[in-house]
């Protein structure tokens, strides 16, 4: 129950902050906001103040802002000065981009709180691809367990994903080759793995006894897949500490952009959306991650949730600014076209593009959710 409540709270905060950006900028630009709703309709309660209905809706996931004249299919007086489409393209552009800016602002603010408590170091960040972060000092860990082979003796011994192999029989290991070297002559013999839980902010280790099996060459074999993760340290100077929130946001956004482009490249090469769906998580995946973080309890859980909210807020900003139909970025693309060409695109064409784009995004969300459900069980 606690996981569900925290999950709903996280999604609601992220979406409401995003919509609040649209709401504030629309009001400032003189655009009439017809409704500012918490949750997804049907409406349970609503009250009108001025031109705006403030509502509470049945499904408590985020919220929405209904701006007069934003959708071409609306029946709105073409001379209405409060209609979105009657404002200059620059004002419309500001309204559209303001939701993304609010999500970025939320993320940076949370990062500052997190760094103040955690000595200006980040939590452990998994690396899907090789990447060099531009800001901060990178502390890399190359022995993080992210998966298991079928019948893995390490998994049967209780080793968990997210733990790093710190030492084998008391001998420090730094990469996959060190691990292989330490166990290659140990098939059938009990060894002790010293494991570091990279998901905790406090450095906690535990020992697990494992008996490696033999691979086809007769070498010791644990049946684990190892990957890298990094911790970024922004505490090296007063300037880095002062700008740490901005630096980390830039690091995460650049890393997200690079990773997403590589996932898209893999999907194009394979002619399949599976790489993209495998590299991202939907609501079910987010729910599962929240549950894992809360299991740590105490300060680790609280800071873990804060860090997760900040990264999700940046992710929401990144996805929304992409020039995809039905998203803010797709609508921004049409406004930019108007600014460059000084001609308004066909409203019928734009509506059609956003409609089919929404259908595609719903289909991709279903695919991602199905993948998350399979992984969950």
3 state DSSP class of 64: strand
DSSP notation for 342-372: SSPPPHHHHHHHHHHHHHHHHHHHHHHHHHH
For residues 51 and 94, what is the distance between their CA atoms, to the nearest angstrom? 21
Tokens of 293: 């973080």
**CA separation for the pair 207, 228 (Å, rounded):** 21
User: 90-122: buried (b, 16+ CB within 10 Å) or exposed (e) per residue?
Assistant: ebbbbbbbbbbebbbbbbbebbbebbeebebbb
**pLDDT (tens place) for every residue of the chain, 377 residues total:** 888 888 888 988 999 999 999 999 999 999 999 999 988 888 999 999 988 999 999 888 778 899 887 765 555 566 678 888 888 999 999 999 999 999 999 999 999 999 999 999 999 888 877 889 999 999 999 999 988 988 899 999 999 988 999 999 999 999 999 999 999 999 999 999 999 988 887 777 899 999 999 888 889 889 998 989 999 999 999 999 999 999 999 999 999 888 878 877 777 777 666 666 566 666 667 777 888 888 888 888 899 999 999 999 999 999 899 898 888 999 999 999 999 998 988 778 887 888 887 787 777 677 666 766 666 66
**Mapping DSSP to helix (H, G, I), strand (E, B) and coil, where does residue 310 land?**
helix
pLDDT attached to residue 32: 92
Tell the burial category of 25 from Cβ atoms under 10 Å away from its Cβ (0-12, 13-18, 19+): buried
Query: Does 1.10.1200.10 match the CATH number of domain 138-232?
Result: no
Coil, strand or helix: which one is 210? strand
**Helix, strand, coil proportions of the chain in percent (round to 5)?**
50, 20, 30
Distance CA 10, CA 160 (A): 26
Given a contact cutoff of 8 angstroms between Cβ atoms, the answer to whether 186 and 213 are in contact is no
> In Å, how far are 11, 107, 110, 302, 370 from 6, measured between CA atoms?
9, 17, 17, 11, 22
Residue listed under structure tokens 């993080």? 144
Bridge partner list, 40: 59
Confidence at residue 350, expressed as pLDDT on a 0 to 100 scale: 80
Give residue limits of the domains in the chain: 89-136+235-377, 138-232
Cβ-proximal residues to 329 (8 Å cutoff; 6+ apart), any chain: 320, 321, 322, 323
| Contact predicate 262/158, CB 8 Å | no
Alpha carbon distance 324, 280 (integer Å): 16
pLDDT at res. 74: 56
CA 320 to CA 309: how far, in whole Å?
16
Cis preceding linkage at 15, omega within 30:
no
Task: Please give the angle made by the CA atoms of 211, 212 and 215, to the nearest 5 degrees.
Answer: 155
Per the CB < 8 A criterion, the answer to whether 162 and 267 are in contact is: no
């Amino acid at each position: 129950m606690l996981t569900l409540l925290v999950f709903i709270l996280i999604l609601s905060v992220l979406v409401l902050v995003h919509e609040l950006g649209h709401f504030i900028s629309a009001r400032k630009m003189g655009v009439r906001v017809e409704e500012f709703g918490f949750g997804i309709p049907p409406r349970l309660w609503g009250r009108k103040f001025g031109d705006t209905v403030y509502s509470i809706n049945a499904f408590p996931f985020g919220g929405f802002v209904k701006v007069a004249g934003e959708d071409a299919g609306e029946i709105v007086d073409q001379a209405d000065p409060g209609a979105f489409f009657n404002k200059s393209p620059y004002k419309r552009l500001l309204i559209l981009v303001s939701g993304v800016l609010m999500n970025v602002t939320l993320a940076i603010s949370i990062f500052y709180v997190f760094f103040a408590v955690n000595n200006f170091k980040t939590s452990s960040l998994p690396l899907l691809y090789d990447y060099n972060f531009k800001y901060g000092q990178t502390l890399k860990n190359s022995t993080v367990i992210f998966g298991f082979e079928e019948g893995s003796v390490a998994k049967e011994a209780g080793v968990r994903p997210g733990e790093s192999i710190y030492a084998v029989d008391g001998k420090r290991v730094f990469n996959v080759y060190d691990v292989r070297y330490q166990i290659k002559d140990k098939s059938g013999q009990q060894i002790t793995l010293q494991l570091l839980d990279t998901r905790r902010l406090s450095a906690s280790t535990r020992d697990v006894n494992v008996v490696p099996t033999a691979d086809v060459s007769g070498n010791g074999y644990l049946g684990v897949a190892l990957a890298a993760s990094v911790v970024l340290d922004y505490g090296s100077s007063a300037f880095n500490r002062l700008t740490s929130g901005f630096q980390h946001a830039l690091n995460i956004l650049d890393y997200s952009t690079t990773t997403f482009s590589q996932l898209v490249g893999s999907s194009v090469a394979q002619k399949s959306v599976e790489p993209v769906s495998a590299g991202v998580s939907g609501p079910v995946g987010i729910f599962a991650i929240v549950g894992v973080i809360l299991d740590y309890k105490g300060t680790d859980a609280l800071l873990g949730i804060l860090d997760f909210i900040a990264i999700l807020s940046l992710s929401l900003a990144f996805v929304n600014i992409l020039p995809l139909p039905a998203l803010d970025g797709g609508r921004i693309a049409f406004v930019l076209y108007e600014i460059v060409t000084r001609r308004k695109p066909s409203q019928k064409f734009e509506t059609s593009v956003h409609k089919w784009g929404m259908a595609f995004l719903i289909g991709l969300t279903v695919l991602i959710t199905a993948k998350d459900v399979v992984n969950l069980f």
